[in-house]
Structure 1
Amino acid sequence: MKKIIKGKNDVSIAVEDIGYGQPIIFLHGWPFDHQMFEYQYNYFLPRGYRVIGVDFSGFGDSDLVIEEYGYDTLADDIKVVLEELQIEEAILVGFSMGGAVATHYMARHQGFGIKKLILISAAVPQFAKKPAYSIGIKKSEITSMIDQIQIDRPKMIQDFIKKLFHEKTYGSYKDWLTSLALRASSYGMILSALAMRDENVQADLEQITVPTLIFHGEKDTVCSYEVVEEMTQLIPKNIVVPFRKSGHAIFHDETDKLNRTMLMFIQNKN
């Protein structure tokens, strides 16, 4: 069921809320929306779980907030959603940029309503290279992508999507992801890209107190596998599952392994 919840600055946040049972909250990556998780929804719904997909401001069916756009605002919107839906004991799942927002949420709101955390190809502790941080994408490359959004957004999206996969994938699947990205606000894509380029959630990692499952593709060229070492050093309770056949898009490259491992982690009583 589609719901509209008023987030920070009174922005309308679109939420897909389906099923019953323990809630699993999905935070999408850039530049998509919650529909990117449909193969996870189809897996968990018949197994008795409630799936909740949130569209970040400026993506999917959510409105764009221009003021104060960044990880603070996106994390605050998630808090409002959990409060509005009266969520407790949930599993929080974040992919790529959604992983950074999930990490920031856990620190900023002390893990409110969350029992376990799953980070998939997470863009943490930061997405861009900086003088004191050699892992990540060059800041100039992200700036170039932002410039391309303003010149030829469809081509920029298609070029970015090609980088997500380790092996060649069906053109129709790439076309579907392109269609999701084109639903996003152009300016929302710019603002969120700036947040990914400039923000850092390193300090947030140490404040995660719940069991955390880390999925990362060994062939990831968007968020290098090297970030896993830092996550394991800083997150107190973590389990790492490498995906040897995957690039950034684990949800496509090794769908079955992703879903099965998520289920085992969720069902584990520890």
Structure 2
Amino acid sequence: MPFFEVGDGTRLSYEDYGAGAPMVFVSSWVLNADMWEYQVPFFVEHGFRCVLLDRRGHGRSDRPSSGYDADTGADDLAALIEHLDLRGITLVAHSAGGGEAARYLSRHGAERVLRVAFLASTLPYLKSTEDNPEGIPEAVNEATLAQLRKDRPKWFADRAQGYFATHLGNDVSPALIEHEVRRCLSASPFATAAMFRSNFHTDFRPDLRHITIPTLVVHGVADQSAPIGVTGRRTRKMVPHAVYREYPTAGHGLYVTHAEQLNADILGFLKS
């Protein structure tokens, strides 16, 4: 599998499938390129080129001690796009990957990007502040981070059922849930904590205000990781031209539980 090197010497892994108009998939916090296994075959079969990045500290990429902020994530994404000289891109970003995609557009412009899809993204700003009262109190986030650091495997295992909203009837096998927890645990523990904190403290509202390209926002009403009232619905208001979809029975893991519906919605967005 190919690698490329960014400015600080970090080697990043990526995957490249198919031919045609390029789609660049930006993975969630702690997940890597493998999370898109229900999307890539579908879009390759529909004539698209699918490019997937393992961000630093994730998957097969190097695990440096720095670079887990949104600016570096956006710059690493830009380096991949320039390395492959991709143009006419559709960015497809899940969860914290949405912040990197939004920051990429504000830092590097949309010259190479035609459209962007935010899936269960943690936009626009998670932290509660005086001008962002809808956010989450910092003390709550720090307590959550302390639990994560104390027993990382338990933290992910305890949240797995809610991640897929299995209580709403989503059919996810115990084996698949265990597999996804292992995939989350494959990320560097240092990167896991550093990115968790950075994503919480980063205000992406200015980035969203500058998005003028076609945008798709998809969010699950039952999302426990990125509550829709804090994230998806507010993102829709900040990007009023966006195509917006809510999935009533979806949690954060909608790329698995609602893969068929999600793929169809993204394909319709690509063709619109």
Change (3 A) 1:45 1:257: same
User: AA paired with 1:97?
Assistant: A
Judge which range, 18-27 or 5-14, deviates more.
Answer: 5-14
1:203-256 CA deviation, whole Å, 9 max, x = no partner?
A: 100111210000011111221222333322322531101111111211122111
Judge which range, 194-203 or 219-228, deviates more.
Answer: 219-228
Q: How many Å apart are 1:43 and its aligned residue?
A: 1.0
Which among 198, 213, 216 is matched to residue 201 of structure 2?
198
Contact 2:95 2:120 in 1 (8 A): yes
Query: Structure 1: how far apart are the matches of 2:156 and 2:131?
Result: 29
SS in 2 for 1:163: helix
SS in 2 for 1:10: coil
1:256 counterpart residue number? 260
The reply on whether 1:231 has 2:235 as its aligned counterpart is yes
The reply on whether 1:90 has 2:89 as its aligned counterpart is yes
Which among 187, 208, 211 is matched to residue 208 of structure 1?
211
How is 1:142-221 mapped onto 2 (pairs within 5 angstroms)? 142-168=141-167, 169-221=172-224
Judge which range, 230-239 or 187-196, deviates more.
Answer: 230-239
Query: Structure 1: how far apart are the matches of 2:134 and 2:34?
Result: 29
Query: Structure 1: how far apart are the matches of 2:44 and 2:184?
Result: 25
How is 1:40-189 mapped onto 2 (pairs within 5 angstroms)? 40-168=39-167, 169-189=172-192
SS in 2 for 1:77: helix
Contact 1:216 1:243 in 2 (8 A): yes
SS in 2 for 1:116: strand
2:271 counterpart residue number? 267
SS in 2 for 1:17: strand
User: AA paired with 2:41?
Assistant: N
Change (3 A) 1:147 1:195: same
Could you tell me which runs of 5 or more consecutive residues in structure 1 were left unpaired when the two chains were aligned. none
Judge which range, 151-160 or 119-128, deviates more.
Answer: 151-160
Structure 1 stretches of at least 4 aligned residues deviating more than 6 Å after TM superposition: none
1:22 counterpart residue number? 21
Query: Structure 1: how far apart are the matches of 2:227 and 2:157?
Result: 20
Change (3 A) 1:173 1:134: farther
Could you tell me which runs of 5 or more consecutive residues in structure 2 were left unpaired when the two chains were aligned. none
Query: Structure 1: how far apart are the matches of 2:108 and 2:6?
Result: 15
Q: How many Å apart are 1:201 and its aligned residue?
A: 0.4
User: AA paired with 2:68?
Assistant: Y
User: AA paired with 1:221?
Assistant: Q
1:38 counterpart residue number? 37
Q: What's the TM-score, normalizing by structure 2?
A: 0.92
Q: How many Å apart are 1:110 and its aligned residue?
A: 0.9
User: AA paired with 1:71?
Assistant: A
Output the aligned Cα RMSD.
Answer: 1.7
Q: How many Å apart are 1:66 and its aligned residue?
A: 2.4
Change (3 A) 1:38 1:136: farther
1:69-109 CA deviation, whole Å, 9 max, x = no partner?
A: 30000000000000000100011011000011111111111
Contact 1:245 1:253 in 2 (8 A): no
Which among 222, 225, 230 is matched to residue 222 of structure 1?
225
Q: Percent identity?
A: 25
Q: What's the TM-score, normalizing by structure 1?
A: 0.93
Contact 2:127 2:137 in 1 (8 A): yes
SS in 2 for 1:25: strand
Query: Structure 2: how far apart are the matches of 1:137 and 1:158?
Result: 22
How many residues align structurally? 267
